[in-house]
Amino acid sequence: MILPGASVLVGVPVLAGALLLVEAGLEHTRAPKALARAAGTGVVAARAIAAVEFVIGVPSVVAVLLGTAELRWALAGQTAMYVAFAAHLSWRRYRREESDCGCNRMGTQVGPGGIARAVLLAGATLAATALYPALVLPGGGVTILLVACAVVLAVLLYTLPAAVDGRAA
């Protein structure tokens, strides 16, 4: 049985992760060259990554809020995105590459802050996917407070890599 508080503890970070994914998709759509440089890909691949981020992020937001059974794939996709991102950053960190991580337009270097963020969001989204729809946000009047909390958490997580790891030189 899932305790009522568990849906808050997991649902809010997962919603924050989905909002970050939407924001990343929008930023990378506007500036695909920056992502291409950071990820070591071409501009076409960067545009494709941006599209996938957006196409997975938006349904994930809806899935966490409404618990629609058909949208479980979006949470699975979000898990895959964060696992892939954590692996990509860890590999670059292992190779001592400290250029732009591609986390956002703040131009942050690859470091423990960006990796920890991706790992934690991947873990929370994996739990939400496995137990879906049990861990979606509870309904009622408390929902708006929890959405506001997720927005605050998303803003904090957006700035965390730049604060912890610093700007790419």
Partner 1 sequence: MSVLTAAVVLSWGCLAVLTLAMAGILRQLRELQSEVVRLGASPSRAAIGRRVPELAGAEHLVLLVLDPGCGFCDAVHEPFTRLAGRHPGARFEMLSPTARWAGSPNIRFRVDPGLITELDLPWAPALLHVGADGTVLAEQPVTSPERLEEQVAGLLTTPMHQQGAS
Binding stretches for partner 1 (CB under 8 A): 3-9, 12-13, 37-38, 98-100, 107, 109, 113, 138, 142, 145, 149, 152-153, 156-157, 159-160, 163-169
Q: Which two tokens stand for residue 17?
A: 């992760």
Rounded Cα–Cα distance for residues 17 and 20 (Å): 5
How far apart CA 48 and CA 118 sit, in angstroms, is 20
Question: Residue 102, Cβ neighbours under 10 Å: how many?
Answer: 28
Q: Of 47 and 105, which CB lies nearer to partner 1 in the complex structure? A: 105
Nearest approach in angstroms of CB 114 to partner 1 is 11
Nearer to partner 1, 12 or 127 (CB): 12
Instruction: Say how far apart CA 142 and CA 140 lie, in whole Å.
Output: 6
Instruction: Report how far residue 45's alpha carbon sits from residue 168's, in angstroms, rounded to the nearest whole number.
Output: 22
Q: How far is the CB of 74 from partner 1 (least distance, A)?
A: 22
| 3-class state of residue 108 by DSSP | strand
Question: Residue 77 CB, nearest distance to partner 1 (Å)?
Answer: 24
Cα separation, 82 vs 16, whole angstroms: 13
Q: How far is the CB of 98 from partner 1 (least distance, A)?
A: 6
Give the residue with the Cβ less far from partner 1, 77 or 117.
Answer: 117
Of 69 and 141, CB closest to partner 1: 141
Of residues 9 and 130, the one with the C-beta less far from partner 1: 9
Question: Nearest approach, Cβ of 147 to partner 1 (angstroms)?
Answer: 13
Name residue, tokens 């919603």: 15
What is the gyration radius of the CA atoms in the chain, in angstroms? 16
